[in-house]
Structure 1
Amino acid sequence: MTTIAVRPTARPELLTLLGRTPVVRVTADLPNPHPGFWAKLEGLAAGGMKARAAVSMLLGARERGELRPGAPVVESTSGTLGIGLAFAGQALGHPVVLVGDSELEPSMRQLLRAHGVRLELVDRPAPQGGWQAARIGRLRELLAELPGAYWPDQYNNPDNTAGYASLAAELGVQLDHLDILVCSVGTGGHSAGIIGPLRRHWPGLRLIGVDATGSTIFGQPARPRLMRGLGSSIHPRNVAYDAFDEVHWIGPAEAVDSCRRLARGSFVSGGWSTGAVARVAAWAARVHPGAVVATVFPDGPHRYLGTVFDDDFLTAHGLDLAGAATRPVEIPHPYAAEANGWVRCARVADPLSPERTR
């Protein structure tokens, strides 16, 4: 029988550290010159961007009676939501059990355990659904072993999306106007959560989604992915397909090149998602002169010192930054060609819908 630590003491004062992050103007070449865009620095808040979603999901479950006081929370994670749940668990008094996989960075494993998380690791991807399916398989076993355990199900939980209302409200105050919003897409939570409120504020706002090559979210075939934190091997139901005006797929070389350029030229940087959205936001600012462009940097660079910022890692994975794409290849619909490198498509649809394109 699986056991877990005794109920932790709630620390509600931690909730004062949630959100309220700054925006900064980014003008570093990414890789070409551009007029600049605004970046919201979620890595400067306790727990990062996904702490907003984690707190929202646990509070919603408590209000509905699905999560009892002190009951364990069990979730699958590639790392970022795990830190958010560690924060939410401490603030609200719930032990947290996370299911990761063997590709989770050693530094992230150490950090999660340092925050009191019990971490389970699966050692091989599932034949269908890859690492995510393997993690969820182990998660279901844990739910059967832990009485009263709650699974937030970040991929399909509307409270994930609702947690980003505060992010939207902050952007609405921090920016005088916004024409184009660029969002990375993994669970689909933060893009869906901020576009609705911001379009009520600025009705003409365009939304650009940024996915990873090898991700199946927007209809591409699922492939093994080096990048973590964006993309998916499954189809999360939190993705607001109808809200997107276009989608870009970014490869690891492009993301790494952008992260390093950000670190050298703007000081602020981050990991895979940050590099991907920065490259697309710079492109959007360049091809739409006069438009106000903003994006969200979900976390900072520290988790990625052994990957994105490690030359040996790049060599081991055959990443040549000199060959990173400087502009996207255009495809007419998501099924026209498999995305490699940087690809753009102006037609977006739910891959599970009978009507695949619009």
Structure 2
Amino acid sequence: MLQILDTRSTPAIHGSPAVTAPPRARAGLMSLATAVPAHRLPQQDVAAAMHHVFADIFARSETMAGIFAATGIRQRYTARPLDWYLEPQGWPERSAVYTEVGGDLFVEVADRALEAAGCTAGEVDAVVFVSSSGIATPSLDAVVHHRMGFRPDIERVPVFGLGCAGGVTGLAVAARIAEAQPGATVLMVTVELSSLAFRLDRPDKTSLISSALFGDGAAAIVLRAGEQGIAVIEGAGEHLWPDTLGIMGWSIDPVGFGVILVPDVPTFARANLRPAVAGILARMGLSTADIGRFVCHPGGAKVITAIEHSFELEQGALDHERGVLADYGNMSAPTVLFILDRVLHEGLPDRATLVSMGPGFTASCVSLARAW
């Protein structure tokens, strides 16, 4: 049975004195690992191929001519080599790759995180698996159960549909599970193969933009309540803007997922992100002035600039966001954890806040305090 500790006072009953519950054991971040698939795609190679695939769009629109250079991406990693994406693929082919490559990435990144935390898969009490770029039932955490060496009684929490916000929200979910079971080891894994959504049959600007942005990757985190580790999870929260369902997501048809992505996400982020994040932080008893480093999902180069403007940061402050985007592209959910990995290696400030936006349209935040 789960024991949930509450820091609120218990009301007095029949004149008895109030009883104060013991303080909540916060989740400690014990390790973080990242991984990418084997196929490296230089951006200039993708650009050359897409100029052929989307020749009509380039011919009609001068603004699209420099789109690949404007992303700030030098290379990406994908589940299959470039030629695979230039052949017709349907649901069966995409799903087979998702299960095969996604499963391999799950095992690789989870093993790295567990080794770094000094524990084994047999010691994991709960696994939170986050992914929005493929569908597998059973989910990949069950598919790799035997390969990983998980116990039969492991608690499995697969999470779908969060998109780019998944890495942050998944961490928040895993932290709550860890806090509810002090001493338990919780593993959070996110795997995204967003390249599988590339569609030859949809020669439109949205498909072209997604072909310039998205790559594949995975990240894993080990949490344990009551131990500080690298950092402590202070709190988390979300903000969903009404009437914004059409900003980002998937359309689904017999061929596969299709990208839904409106072009004015940077404008939306500049105007709306800071008030939403300030509200989330206020519910934690914090303000934006308390945050030493915002760790933000980059989306794209224009989104990074918009976030800097929204939070009134110096231009170039989100340096690791630009670096990860250049080296890996937008990997959806794992991307912000790749950035956090670089921030941790550089040296975490006293307090950092992870921020991602995803389908909903939603902002998701997790606040980290440096372990002393």
TM-score between the two structures when normalised by the length of structure 2? 0.29
Of structures 1 and 2, the larger Rg is shown by: 2
Higher strand share: 2
